[in-house]
Structure 1
Amino acid sequence: MYVPPAFREDDLPALHGVMREARLANLVTATEEGLLATPLPLFLMPDEGPYGTLYGHLARANPQGKLVPTGEAMALFMGPDAYVTPSWYASKREHGKVVPTWNYVAVHAYGPAEFFDDADRLLDVVTRLTRLHEEVRPEPWAVTDAPAAFIRAQLRGILGLRMPISRIEGKRKMSQNRSAEDRAGVAAGLATSERVSDRAAAALIPG
């Protein structure tokens, strides 16, 4: 990922925060048959390894779990993003030398993709994923709410993924390269948008 110095995010807890908030990532692997990508919900074990370790699962029928990756895999996480119109810039009124852009937050995590089909490990992964996304609900559903035999049968249809992160890079492009007046204009414009992602991006623009 191309990351100019003004947009570089190196703080590991901040990177982990983006990964947790993203909820859905894209797992990309290079194989002898070409690039493969699968959208996956993943969870992070932050203390497992220097940069943390990602876990998830994919369908057993998915060829991405059958073809041996050549080199590192990559998990792509996106945070808030928003289109930025030049009309919000104070500098547009001053000289007009402005163009549209896109503000966004992105984290790319790299490491070996390790696929497994051990039933106990798979059960642990789906239980953790379920708990992660159900815990905010008033009446959380649990894996144990379903019959054990049914869950075991479902596990036979998936493969587990473990990806220890060997390197990580982050980009927080939120108008840092613009003047304070331009940033204020962008923040104000995005804050009135009907799009949730726009309003989330507005809150990330430096004052």
Structure 2
Amino acid sequence: MYNPSHFREERLDVLHQTIIQARLCSLVTLGSDGLDASHIPVLLEAGEGPNGTLYGHLARGNSQWKQTDKDVEALAIFLGADAYVSPSWYPAKAEHGKVVPTWNFVTVHARGSIEFFDDRDRLLPLVTKLTNKHEGKRTAPWAVSDAPADFIDGHLKALIGFRLPIARIEGKWKLSQNRSEADQRGVVAGLRASTDPADRTIADLMDKRS
């Protein structure tokens, strides 16, 4: 990932929080047919290993797990908030007009050797934790145990789990740090005027950075 020094985020707790909050992970691997990618929810075990460990599952029918080259690190991509930045928000536009649009965003890239597994004793706790994570805030949360055990066992047989200890982790917080303070304030004002929650989230992150 192209990541100039002024955009880099290196605090592990901040990177982990972005992973936890992300709805989906893009899991990219190299295989016999070239690059492959799946878009899936994952769990982060933050205390497992120096940078944490990712867990998730693929459909057994997804050939990605069969074709993955285990000698090449897998890449897990997490995208946080993002927002279009209009050059009309820059005071510099009125001064000299030498401005163009851009995009502000937050992303985390995590790399490591991936291991696949299909044993029930590892899959059942994984799908249970994933379900609890996403059902936990609901008024009447659904639980894996709500379904008949034989029905769940049948679904587990259709899954392939994976474990990805994070060997390298990189964060990019592109939040107009390369613009003047006046231009940054203009971007924050423009984003706050938006009705899009993602725009306002980027404005909040810019305020925290400043």
SS at match of 1:66: helix
Q: Which runs of 5+ in 2 are unaligned?
A: none
Supply the distance in 1 between the matched residues of 2:106 and 2:133 (Cα, whole angstroms).
22
SS of equivalent to 2:6: helix
User: What are the residue-to-residue correspondences of 1:41-56 with 2, within 5 Å?
Assistant: 41-56=41-56
Corresponding residue of 2:141: 140
Deviating more after overlay: 58-67 vs 193-202? 193-202
The Cα shift of 1:105 comes to: 0.5
Q: How does 1:22-33 map to 2 (within 5 A)?
A: 22-33=22-33
**Residues 92-121 of structure 1 deviation map (CA, whole Å, 9 limit, x = unaligned):** 111111111110001000001111000010
1:9 counterpart residue number:
9
Counterpart Cα distance in 2 of 1:158 and 1:114: 14
In the alignment, residue 126 of structure 2 is paired with which amino acid? V
Following TM superposition, by how much is the alpha carbon of 1:31 offset from its aligned partner in structure 2, in angstroms? 0.9
- SS of 2:205's equivalent? coil
Partner Cα separation in structure 2 for residue 48 and residue 23 of structure 1: 21
- Once the two structures are TM-superposed, the CA of residue 199 in structure 1 deviates from its matched residue by 1.4
1:106-137 alpha-carbon deviations (Å, 9 max, x no partner): 10000011110000100010000001111111
Does residue 179 (structure 1) correspond to residue 155 (structure 2)? The answer is no
3-state secondary structure, aligned to 2:133 = helix
| 1:68 Cα deviation from its structure 2 partner | 3.2
1:189 corresponds to which residue?
A: 190
Structure 2 residue aligned with 1:199: 200
Report how many aligned residue pairs link the two structures.
207
- Taking the aligned partners of 1:140 and 1:32, their CA distance within structure 2 comes to 41
The residue aligned with 2:124 is 123
In structure 2, give the amino acid aligned to 1:154: H
Moved over 4 A (4+): none
> Structure 1 residue 36 and structure 2 residue 36: aligned?
yes
State the distance in 2 between where 1:125 and 1:152 align.
13
**What is the CA-CA distance between 1:26 and the residue it aligns to?**
0.2
- Residue ranges of structure 1 left out of the alignment (5+ in a row): none
Amino acid in structure 2 at the alignment position of 1:203 = D
Distance 2:18 2:104 in 1: 15
Q: Which residue of 1 aligns with 2:113?
A: 112
Whole-angstrom CA distance in 1 between matches of 2:61 and 2:144: 22
Alpha-carbon offset, residue 194 of structure 1: 2.4
Matches within 5 A, 1:52-131: 52-69=52-69, 70-131=71-132
Distance in 1 of aligned mates of 2:140 and 2:185? 41
Cα distance in 2, alignment partners of residues 201 and 51 from structure 1:
25
SS at match of 1:204: helix
Q: Distance in 1 between matches of 2:99 and 2:132?
A: 47
CA distance in 1, matches of 2:136, 2:182: 41
SS state at 1:50 partner: coil
Deviations 1:4-41 (A, max 9, x none): 01000100000001111112010000012100000010
CA distance in 2, matches of 1:23, 1:47: 21
The Cα RMSD (Å) is 0.9
Q: State the SS of the aligned residue for 1:93.
A: helix
Report SS of the residue matched to 1:29: strand
1:84 deviates by: 0.4
Tell me the amino acid that sits aligned with residue 143 of structure 1.
V
Which stretch of structure 1 is more off in the superposition, 115-124 or 185-194?
Answer: 185-194
